[in-house]
Amino acid sequence: MASNKEALALVVDIGVGMSQTAPGFDSPLQITSDILQMIVQRKMFQQSKDELALILYGGDETNNDLADENNYQNISVVFSLSPANWHLFEEIQKIKPGNNPADLIDAIVVAADHLRRETEGKRGYAAKRVLLFTNAATPFNDHSLKVILDSLRLQDITVDAIGPSWGQEEEDDDENDRPDSPTQTNGHNGDSASARPTTNGNHHNRNQKKPLTPQQKTGIRIINDIVNTTEGSLFTFREALGMLSIHQSKTVKPTATKYIMQLADIKLHICTYIQVKDNKPGIFRLKKVYARDPKSEIKVDRGRYTKDEHDEEIEKEELTDGFRYGTTFVPINKETLDDMKYQSEKCFSVIGFSDANMMRRSLYLGDTVYEVIAEPTYEEEAQTFTGLVQAMYDTNTVAIVRKCFSERSSPELGFLRPHIAHDHICMYYVKLPFAEDLREFNFDNLDVIKRNLPNDEQLKTVDNLITTMDLSHADRGREEAFQPELISNPYIQRMFQSIAQRAVTPDEPLSLSNTIMEMNDTLIQSIARKSKRTLDTVHEQFILRDTNRRQKVATGEALFGNNDISAKKARLEDNNEEFTTDSTSFEAQAAAKKKAAIKTVGTVTPVEDFRILIEQGSPSLTDVCKQMCTLIFDLINNSHGDSLFEKALQCIQCLREICIDKLEPKIFNDFEVVLKAHASDIDGRKDFWKKIVDEKISLITSEECIESNVIPVEAKKFLEEETAIQALNNAPINNEQDDEEEDLFDLI
Amino acid sequence: MSLLDQNWGAGGSAEDEAQDENQQGRPITTNRDGTLILIECAPQMFETLANQMKQDSTFDEDDEDAQLTTGFQLVMRACQRFYQSKIISNDKDLSGIILYGTENSLNAFDFKHIYILHELAQPSAERIIQLETLSNKDTFRAKYDELFGSTQATGYSLNEALWTCSNLFSNSPQRLTIKRIFIFTCNDQPHASNLTLERQAKQRAKDLHDVGIQLEVFPILTESITKFDFKKFFQDVLMLSDEDLEIRNNQEPTGRLNELLKLVYSKEHKKRAYCTVPFSLGKSSDGTPLEFSVSVYNMVRPCPKPTKIKLDMKTNLETKIVTKHYLPETAEILMPSDIQYGLDVANRRILFDSDEIKAIKKFGDSGFELLGFKSLSCLLPHHYVKPGHFIYPDEKYVEGSSCLFNALLKKCLEKKMFILCQFTARRNTPPRLVALTAQAEEVNKKIKNDRLASNGFHVHYLPYADDIRTLPKNDTTRAANDEVDLFKNVIRGLKFKYRPDKFENPALQTLWRNIEATALNKGEPDEFIDLTIPSVENQNRKISGYVDELKQMIFPPGYVMGTTKKSAAAKRKAETTSSPSSAKKTKPDEDVDVEAAAKSNLLSKLTVPMLKDYCRDKKLKASGTKKQDFIDVIQSHLGIAQ
């Protein structure tokens, strides 16, 4: 394996100086801890092979291989070199300020020694690095610095240092406000520490601005010396936070797909690389796990069944492939299917050349832009390829290509566009549509209808709008704003943030931020300021009338069945949640209550859950019964055939028992009325009602429970009556069944 | 406009298109067309066809079609093709066939001489095979007699036939967007002798028209009937204006019929918006959101292949798949509420609810949010991640949308700018950056009413920083001018005008034809010509001169291009790539090679790189980058006269 991992020693000063701060400011140690957590998280999310060690100095403990009675005291290796894991993360969270003297130089020596010991004899390390976190407030001894520096160089160890400020000795404070500060060069994202993803945003990391002590000045000089000698870098806290605030997914190593490009008699070895493709980080692939025991992964069974009322399972061997031809089913066996398949060889053939202007962007198809270059090992062919690219570039033409990845895949049509930069020459390949892929929709010319024609004044306003909101040079330094190359996918950022948050504080609700707007707040604000007046004019000059025909909320739940809603509603009420109209926060809040949800009646062992909850006495009896009712409806509705009927029946019996026991017959009786109406209404659920009748699960009678006002005759009749008649007699129940069901919960 | 096109006869304006999409863009109901084919079976239908019909119907030199001698066969073949094309283009559409003037009767009202051959339903292989026998010259007569009776009846009523059609439509279990009746007849005045029947038929036609059923007549001309005058009767049935009548009477009677006879393998796309969403410009000072409404359309999408289905071997019937989630230990079936989503980071399982996953993906309501404008030059060639959309203003939700949209369109065109937006297609999809480029209307100058492009904005998805990969630089030495010039000749020789509808998908077309052949028990599938395979022979004919020259210029003699066996030069290169590239080839034997070649006057046979290397080693400066320049300088260096 190639040497590609890094050995990284995190050396952290926890001495007195690091925890001193004025009120209202984060201590340097606190900020250090945040940065360390971000580094470790990032390594874990990227599934990085890099190995990390954590070394603290200035605390009470001494734990290192070099220590003896007099030397290397108060330096502790709390995490030995190994890939980042949660244990390391927790060690960082556990860091507490110390108040013992410890020597910065000694700590570096311990780190270097640790790196040496741990990497010796092992392969695969591309670099060794010490990352030093300090504000240089603690005194240290630099008499052997020269020797140590030589040793670091010899071992090829780089030392980087991160601290509150590295101001030159004389001009010390206020580095945050100095625009020309050499440390403030982190471009687009280093702007605010408050944009950091890991903290929940209620405290701001601010560096305390106070003059450096003479000790710090000396310390900084020495650190500068070390860093420069080992070709490392200095970072301020602010810079480090900025760099780390953008999550990055695992980088993909470019891999070439090789083809032979054919153009008449010319055959050239070429490589294609993915240049642009929607990045879906692999880590986001989620497993389905069992809510009550997250360790067990859920298996999925996809059985084939006959598509009729029998629902018979069919074995794999009894299935054959086929196609639909109109309403006719055309079975086709495997061999014929292979024969039928279009046969193609792997190819990359130029069909011809066409004017580049004909390649409308709106025709582009597929999900990838490929870069195509000649395979460099074939020198003459590479030269030929270059000649072709240049000629295409000069004549403004593109090549139309038939491309087929392998014999097993379908050929596709695409085109090659030449690209020449001062140090790069290649072609871009994008897929094109076939005739079948085009949808030739026609739209009327907007000018035909008079009221669609903007007047001169309106046109002038829009012209103004375009000018005031021109982003071509709107960014700092008159650069193009919102360059795709610089905008991170907010979803990826948010997902990483959520994973981090959930990992660290599993019980807290997610705080969802990271919209494009938030991430580019300053820019958006400045544009909004500029365009404000023009927007007002647009508002005055264009009459836009909302017809209010848009449904405000059309969610899946609203469309598909109301049980879901009532279940949700029930859950909401359980949680005494205020119903907010803002659905984002609603969803987040509802989700946040997942722990509470586990305390509810689940579908796996509902009867047991129910009994336990009743015994616990919290939530209240009515609430638990409510849950049970909802669950029974769920079971009946989601049952495939009658597979879940038995379970539902057990639930009903249990509910009945409890209701009698707790002298709450009304809950059960109301429920059964609704159930009967419900079951009689839906095909395939009538069977369930039949089971109830067979099992003689009647309404709770006054004989069974004194609280009931149902006499046994009534109860018997209730069961015996035909559902149809019942439906007639109780027309309101049936008609307003939907409402009824929700009302039930209000009644309880 | 094709007869298969659902919009046929209806002036499809954009406004009533959006009716079937809801805000989520998820169509709840499928749009279906219904077509009933009403065929008169008068004796003339069995006469030999008029010559003009024959000629026209056999223009595609199809042997089978040439055997169609009678009107009836021709109509049956047209129906068959109509079905076949429907299956490919839109198999959800319903069609049916009703014969009138038959001896036997089969209909719900016991009308005489009306025979429903096919009820309104989706087409099937059985129907097509049956129609095949009804058009085949050897079988059609016998089959006809068997089904419909051997004699032709008189005294049937077109009114009753139309009534039957209308009844079939109203009994259709599916909601039909478009209902139409194609009448095939050779009789331009079916009820010439019976005014009552004529009046009834006209009234019925009017009623049908009122409920939105379209009628179309296809005249069949035979030896004895050589003229079809729409004025006599059908003007009133079809509600033709006098101009239309004029056009109709002068039309080739076979034009539309031929369109039906053509077998079309192409999928039809219903013009339905992908979604209709608000387009927000921001807020005015008083806090009113500035929003207009646009409909989003997909103009280019991969045409889906017929999906492979799993059939029950015993019954050859469709099966369904039932997905169950269960616990591996207990085989307990789980409900959605028991499922959480987890991922493992450094051996710790991190859990989310499905609600949370949704919430993470949800950034805002669907729609476009204006970020600003940019010059078109900011849109780089590789800024692409997935197929885009087309937007057109929608007046249904926000009145006045078109005017503002139009103003933006005009100004963006004029200033060569595009609109940068954040676009959220659905509530639970994360937003993406999109570039909206203005599209002006383009009309074919030669053919009136042929719109090449409609006005509106194209929506192009832009990549995020995460999507753009860093690739190694490729900095091959630029080619010499004469090489580039030769390539320019190659390009000129192989240049053609690309049109997106030029190439059919070979894999899809082959599959369609194969399924059809299997379903209809045809021996061989219809032939398909794959235009995507370039003919190297043709290409060579045009450019082989330049190619030969290029080969000579660049490649060493005997070099075979494109073989995986690496050439000697490539090997050499491969060996030396490990060491730094400069100062590598000072091997004397190579120099000798060049010098030997120079002495025997074979320098022109060596490759440019070889010559270049030699020059570099000997620190020779060529006067240019052409091969001859190198040869010259080497020759003068070695003191060899040209």
Q: What is the CATH number of the domain that holds A23?
A: 3.40.50.410
Q: Are B255 and B78 in contact (CB under 8 A)?
A: no
Q: What is the mean pLDDT of chain A?
A: 78
| Chain B nearest-CA residue for A529 | B285
Inform me whether the pLDDT recorded for A475 exceeds 80: no
Per-residue pLDDT tens digits for A86-99: 889 889 988 988 88
- Distance of alpha carbon A309 from alpha carbon A307, whole angstroms: 7
Report residue B206's pLDDT band, with 50, 70 and 90 as the boundaries. Answer: very high
- Token output for B381: 């060639």
Nearest to B609 by CA among B639, B579, B568, B637: B568
- Distance of alpha carbon B574 from alpha carbon B551, whole angstroms: 22
Report residue A17's pLDDT band, with 50, 70 and 90 as the boundaries. Answer: confident
pLDDT at B576: 46
**Which of B322, B396, B608 lies at the smallest CB-CB distance from A640?**
B322
Inform me whether the pLDDT recorded for B423 exceeds 90: yes
Taking one residue from A and the other from B, the number of pairs with CB-CB distance under 8 angstroms is 702
Per-residue pLDDT tens digits for A656-704: 888 888 888 888 888 888 888 777 666 667 777 888 888 888 888 888 8
> A202 with A56, same domain?
yes
Q: Which of A83-92, A436-445, B126-135, B446-455 has the lowest mean pLDDT?
A: B446-455
A561 in any annotated domain: no
* Section A236-259 average pLDDT: 81
Per-residue pLDDT tens digits for B154-201: 778 899 999 999 999 998 888 888 899 999 998 888 888 888 999 999
Nearest to B71 by CA among B43, B105, B97, B99: B43
pLDDT at A515: 73
Q: Which residue has the tokens 């500060």?
A: A181
φ/ψ (deg, to 5) at A614: -65, -45
> A60 with A140, same domain?
yes
Counting the structural domains of chain A, the total is 3
φ/ψ (deg, to 5) at B451: -90, 120
CA distance A746 to chain B (A): 23
A9 in any annotated domain: yes
> A174 with A287, same domain?
no
Q: What is the mean pLDDT of chain B?
A: 82
Cα angle for residues B267, B273, B276 (degrees, 5° grid): 165
pLDDT at A1: 45
One-letter identity of residue B261: L
What is the percent of chain A where pLDDT is above 90?
24
Per-residue pLDDT tens digits for B376-387: 999 999 999 999
**Which of B125, B285, B405 lies at the smallest CB-CB distance from A536?**
B285
- Distance of alpha carbon B96 from alpha carbon B121, whole angstroms: 6
Mutation site for B-interface testing, chosen from A339, A373, A544 by largest number of B Cβ within 10 Å? A544
Q: Please give the model's pTM, rounded to 2 decimal places.
A: 0.73
- Distance of alpha carbon B211 from alpha carbon B442, whole angstroms: 36
pLDDT at A497: 85
Report residue B203's pLDDT band, with 50, 70 and 90 as the boundaries. Answer: very high
- Distance of alpha carbon B429 from alpha carbon B366, whole angstroms: 8
pLDDT at B382: 93
> A182 with A138, same domain?
yes
Segment 552-571 of chain B within 8 Å of chain A by CB: 554-556, 559, 561-562, 566-567, 569-570
Segment 272-311 of chain B within 8 Å of chain A by CB: 278, 281-285, 288, 290-292, 297-303, 306-311
Contacts for B240 with CB less than 8 Å, ≥ 6 apart: B230, B234, B248
CA distance B251 to chain A (A): 26
> A298 with A219, same domain?
no
Inform me whether the pLDDT recorded for B609 exceeds 90: no
Terminus-to-terminus CA distance in chain B, angstroms? 70
- Asked if the bond preceding A83 is cis, omega within 30° of 0, the reply is no
A56 in any annotated domain: yes
Is B503 part of the contact surface with chain A (CB cutoff 8 Å)? yes
Q: Is A22 helix (H, G, I), strand (E, B) or coil?
A: coil
- Token output for B423: 């676009």
A356 in any annotated domain: yes
> Angle formed by the axes of helices A214-229 and A104-119, to 10°?
30
8 Å CB contact of A438 and B534: no
What is the percent of chain B where pLDDT is above 70?
87
Nearest to A27 by CA among A46, A14, A38, A45: A14
8 Å CB contact of A304 and B319: yes
> A309 with A429, same domain?
yes
> A645 with A736, same domain?
yes
What is the percent of chain B where pLDDT is above 90?
35
Report residue B642's pLDDT band, with 50, 70 and 90 as the boundaries. Answer: low
H-type alpha helices, A416-520: 456-468, 490-504, 516-519
Inform me whether the pLDDT recorded for A617 exceeds 90: no
* Section B397-425 average pLDDT: 95
Report residue B18's pLDDT band, with 50, 70 and 90 as the boundaries. Answer: very low
Cα angle for residues A719, A721, A722 (degrees, 5° grid): 115
| Chain B nearest-CA residue for A260 | B562
Per-residue pLDDT tens digits for A481-497: 888 988 888 898 888 88
Report residue B591's pLDDT band, with 50, 70 and 90 as the boundaries. Answer: low
H-type alpha helices, A292-368: 334-340
Terminus-to-terminus CA distance in chain A, angstroms? 67
A468 in any annotated domain: no
- Distance of alpha carbon B361 from alpha carbon B350, whole angstroms: 17
pLDDT at A686: 74
Question: At A258, which helix (H) or strand (E)?
Answer: strand A257-263
- Distance of alpha carbon A85 from alpha carbon A153, whole angstroms: 29
Mutation site for B-interface testing, chosen from A245, A253, A262, A265 by largest number of B Cβ within 10 Å? A265
Comparison of pLDDT for B624 and A707, the residue scoring more: A707
Q: Are A241 and A491 in contact (CB under 8 A)?
A: no
Which of A438, A460, A483 is where one domain is finished? A438
Report residue A722's pLDDT band, with 50, 70 and 90 as the boundaries. Answer: low
Q: Are B500 and A435 in contact (CB under 8 A)?
A: yes
- Chain A residues near residue B510 by CB distance under 8 angstroms: 340-342
Which CATH number belongs to the domain containing residue A285 in this structure? 2.40.290.10
- Chain B residues near residue A503 by CB distance under 8 angstroms: 345, 348, 350
Mutation site for B-interface testing, chosen from A318, A379, A487, A526 by largest number of B Cβ within 10 Å? A379
Contacts for A374 with CB less than 8 Å, ≥ 6 apart: A268, A269, A270, A271, A381, A382, A384, A385, A386, B474, B476
8 Å CB contact of A341 and B318: no
- Distance of alpha carbon A571 from alpha carbon A568, whole angstroms: 5
Which of A201, A218, A244 is where one domain is finished? A244
Q: Which of A32-36, A555-559, A687-691, B573-577 has the lowest mean pLDDT?
A: A555-559
Q: Count Cβ atoms below 10 Å from residue A451 Cβ, excluding itself.
A: 12
- Chain A residues near residue B359 by CB distance under 8 angstroms: 510, 512, 584, 587-588, 591
- Token output for A244: 């780390």
N residues, chain A? 748
pLDDT at B176: 86
**Which of B319, B510, B569 lies at the smallest CB-CB distance from A342?**
B510
> A238 with A274, same domain?
no
Inform me whether the pLDDT recorded for A348 exceeds 90: yes
Which CATH number belongs to the domain containing residue A610 in this structure? 1.25.40.240
- Distance of alpha carbon B46 from alpha carbon B70, whole angstroms: 5
Range of the domain at A691: 598-747
8 Å CB contact of A484 and B325: no
Q: Which of A626-640, B282-296, B375-389 has the lowest mean pLDDT?
A: A626-640
8 Å CB contact of A263 and B539: yes
Judging by DSSP bridges, how do beta strands A319-325 and A365-374 pair with one another? unpaired
8 Å CB contact of B407 and A459: yes
Q: Are B45 and A575 in contact (CB under 8 A)?
A: no
| Chain B nearest-CA residue for A509 | B356
Cα angle for residues A642, A646, A652 (degrees, 5° grid): 120
A179 in any annotated domain: yes
Which of A438, A470, A498 is where one domain is finished? A438
> A166 with A299, same domain?
no
- Set out the domains of chain B in order of their start, with CATH numbers: 33-51+63-270 (3.40.50.410), 274-301+364-467 (2.40.290.10), 481-554 (1.10.1600.10), 594-638 (1.10.720)
pLDDT at B367: 94
Per DSSP, which regions of A361-411 are E strands? 365-374, 397-404
The answer for A509, left when phi > 0, alpha when psi is -120 to 50, beta otherwise, is beta
8 Å CB contact of B543 and A358: no
Is B267 part of the contact surface with chain A (CB cutoff 8 Å)? yes
Report residue A299's pLDDT band, with 50, 70 and 90 as the boundaries. Answer: confident
**Which of B83, B468, B609 lies at the smallest CB-CB distance from A485?**
B468
> A226 with A307, same domain?
no
Contacts for B624 with CB less than 8 Å, ≥ 6 apart: B480
pLDDT at A613: 79
A221 in any annotated domain: yes
Q: Which residues on adjacent β-strands are paired with residue A130? A: A9, A159
* Section A454-471 average pLDDT: 94
Report residue B590's pLDDT band, with 50, 70 and 90 as the boundaries. Answer: low
A665 in any annotated domain: yes
> A290 with A405, same domain?
yes
Which range is most confident: A82-96, A133-147, B438-452? A82-96
**Which of B333, B399, B410 lies at the smallest CB-CB distance from A545?**
B399
8 Å CB contact of A411 and B506: yes
- Chain A residues near residue B310 by CB distance under 8 angstroms: 304, 319-322
pLDDT at A589: 46
**Which of B345, B381, B486 lies at the smallest CB-CB distance from A503?**
B345
**Which of B317, B488, B570 lies at the smallest CB-CB distance from A329?**
B317
Question: At A289, which helix (H) or strand (E)?
Answer: strand A287-290
> A283 with A219, same domain?
no
8 Å CB contact of A355 and B408: no
Inform me whether the pLDDT recorded for B63 exceeds 50: yes
Segment 406-435 of chain B within 8 Å of chain A by CB: 406-412, 415, 417, 420, 422, 427, 430-431, 433
- Chain B residues near residue A340 by CB distance under 8 angstroms: 510-511, 514-515, 518
Per DSSP, which regions of B346-478 are E strands? 348-352, 367-375, 389-393, 398-399, 417-424, 432-439, 442-443, 451-453, 456-461
